A and B are shown apart, each in its own frame.
Chain A
Amino acid sequence: GDSVTQMEGPVTLSEEAFLTINCTYTATGYPSLFWYVQYPGEGLQLLLKATKADDKGSNKGFEATYRKETTSFHLEKGSVQVSDSAVYFCALNRPTGTASKLTFGTGTRLQVTL
Chain B
Amino acid sequence: GAVVSQHPSRVICKSGTSVKIECRSLDFQATTMFWYRQFPKQSLMLMATSNEGSKATYEQGVEKDKFLINHASLTLSTLTVTSAHPEDSSFYICSGAGNSYEQYFGPGTRLTVT
Q: Which residues of A contact B (CB under 8 A)?
A: 4, 36, 41-46, 89, 95, 98-107
Known contacts A106-B41, A107-B43, A44 near B93 by CB under 8 Å: yes
Q: Does B1 contact A (CB under 8 A)?
A: yes
Cβ contacts under 8 Å, B101 to chain A: 95, 98-100
Is B43 within 8 A of A43, CB to CB? no
A89 to chain B, nearest CB (A): 7
Cβ contacts under 8 Å, A107 to chain B: 41, 43
Cβ contacts under 8 Å, B49 to chain A: 101
Is B106 within 8 A of A43, CB to CB? yes
- Cα–Cα distance between A20 and B31 once the two chains are bound (Å): 36
Which of A42, A46, A98, A100 interacts with B107 by CB under 8 Å? A42
Give residues of chain B (20-41) contacting chain A, Cβ–Cβ below 8 Å: 31-32, 34, 41
Which of A46, A98, A104 interacts with B44 by CB under 8 Å? A104
Cβ contacts under 8 Å, B41 to chain A: 106-107
Give residues of chain B (68-114) contacting chain A, Cβ–Cβ below 8 Å: 93, 95, 97, 101-108
Q: Which residues of B contact A (CB under 8 A)?
A: 1, 4, 31-32, 34, 41-44, 46, 49, 93, 95, 97, 101-108
Cβ contacts under 8 Å, A98 to chain B: 32, 101
Total A-B pairs, Cβ < 8 A: 50
Q: List, sorted by A's number, 12 A–B pairs whose CB atoms are closer than 8 Å.
A: A41-B107, A43-B105, A44-B105, A46-B102, A98-B101, A99-B31, A99-B102, A99-B103, A102-B44, A102-B46, A106-B41, A106-B43
Known: A99-B102, A103-B43. 16 other contacts (CB 8 A): A36-B105, A41-B107, A42-B107, A43-B4, A43-B93, A44-B44, A45-B1, A45-B105, A89-B44, A95-B101, A99-B103, A101-B46, A102-B103, A105-B43, A106-B43, A107-B43
